[in-house]
Amino acid sequence: MSFFSRTRQETSSDNALYKLETVRDEDWDILVWISSQMKWEIYAYLFIVIWNKTEFGEDRLLEFKEETMSMVRYVRKLNKNMCIDDRKAKKYINLFIDYRDYRLGKYFTEKKKLITSVLNELETHGLKDKSGFYEQLKVLPMKQKKKLRDIVIDRMKVLSDMTPYNDKSLMNSEKNDKSNLKDELNALKNEKDSLCEQIFELQKENSKYQAAHGNLTNLGFSDEDPNNIFWLNKDIKDLQDLLGDFTLVSGPEYEIDVTNCNELLSFYKCNVEVESQHGKQILSAALQRLTIETIIVEAKNFFLTNSLTIEANLVTKTKEIVDLTNSFTKDYAEDDEIAKAIPTKIRQQVHSMLGSYAFSYDEHPLLKKISEIVLEKLNQYRIVIDDDSDEDNEIIPIIRKIVQLFFYRLEAHPIIPKYHFYENGTEINPLFMESAGTKSKDMKKLKVEICSFPVIAIFDTINDKSDNIFSKALIIPKPKSYNNTSLETAVTTPNE
């Protein structure tokens, strides 16, 4: 009997083969199969497969890390209880860690190979129609995927809590005779002692090479690395907050030049009354975008005219070395895994260092020059009349963060992400854009009024993937067709 029925009629325009809305008894055989398994290896593989069909969000990133470490702990407990030997424990622990690093580091090729191997292992353990099972996971709602993961983790916990004899019987369900299990356990213990001595010697011999090989070929970032996507996204949020505070225009402490502001909004194709509350919100967003664009342009000009500064020199020399090592690898070491990784590692290390330490002191010529240009430009549109304001000191950390982010930190990633501002009138794509206070379900009624902060992503021209997005664009939306309809009405009126 197949785990999935292939005779069901499609009930919607969706082309998915399996739909939960018309589930038949046969379809739930897979759940029975999952919950009735007594081999912990199956749950290890299922955990990875289920997560691979679960999209990341801000709320699920931490959940993914915590659940992965729970699975690692259960494998270690199995090892501690002498249910599995050190070699097997290391194999499965590395499996979980590798998948976590591939997923977080966006190593799509390595992740695809790992998933193919895991599905093949499940097939050898009795999973029929692995393709159908994988497709069924794809259409499951997030809540049901979470329930499946709960089943897997709970079963893994139960199996790891078993006594060694009982757990051994579970892993060898075809041998239920207690005396045979005891003899087998004793034989395995003797074999383990012998193998441990051999492994110890081999580990000493290989440890230095493995450490060097791992460091040279691993292009991802550890959980603590500031360039890890989690911490990078947090730093981007901090930068967005600084920009938002710096470009405020509402309140008695701000004086705006209406004529110049209208020209700026017209430049960004925003047709709003600048003196209205909504107009000031749009103006603040426009000033944020103007600040970012000005800093990027002036930083490029600075590097061109000050090419002998240590920061510019480092980037230039690094590019030369990377180009040379790429050419050398292509000619002499095309099949050497370590050699191929070296150019990327060089680029990553240099740009990671610059992203953390470049322009650390406030008197750096780049920071001083760009701060003067930015303040002069912003003062054409709004003047801060508060005597306690200290714009000179407020703009310096903003310039530093923007230059470090767009010129160095993004360049530290294996595949370099790009950034993009969305223009007025662009259709809204919630995958790449976000708007404070606007629900995703209302986005289809709106389009972009102005984009204050760009999307940062590895853009795929064929498939939009949430895993490729480092930070969504910040936008302020407007109705697709005004027709005297307010923004508030546009996002609260139900579809007809």
Rg (the chain; Cα; Å) = 29
**How many of the other CB atoms lie within 10 Å of CB of 377?**
15
Domain ranges of the chain: 20-179, 229-415, 417-496
pTM above 0.75, yes or no: no
Residue 64's contacts (CB-CB under 8 Å, 6 or more residues apart) are: 51, 54, 56, 100, 103
pLDDT band at 270 (very low <50, low <70, confident <90, very high): very high
Q: What's the pLDDT score for residue 450?
A: 95
Predicted confidence (pLDDT) at residue 235 exceeds the cutoff of 80: yes
Q: Say whether 434 sits in a helix, a strand or coil.
A: strand
How much is the average pLDDT of 65-79? 88
Residue 256 and residue 249 in contact, taking contact as beta carbons nearer than 8 Å: yes
Residue 236's contacts (CB-CB under 8 Å, 6 or more residues apart) are: 405, 456, 470, 471
Predicted confidence (pLDDT) at residue 477 exceeds the cutoff of 80: yes
How much is the average pLDDT of 20-31? 51
Query: What's the length of the chain?
Result: 496
Q: In the beta sheet, which residues pair with residue 434?
A: 474
Q: pLDDT tens, 342-355? A: 888 899 889 989 98
- CA atoms 129, 130, 131, 135: torsion sign: positive
- Burial class (CB within 10 angstroms; exposed 0-12, middle 13-18, buried 19+) of 156: buried
How much is the average pLDDT of 235-248? 91
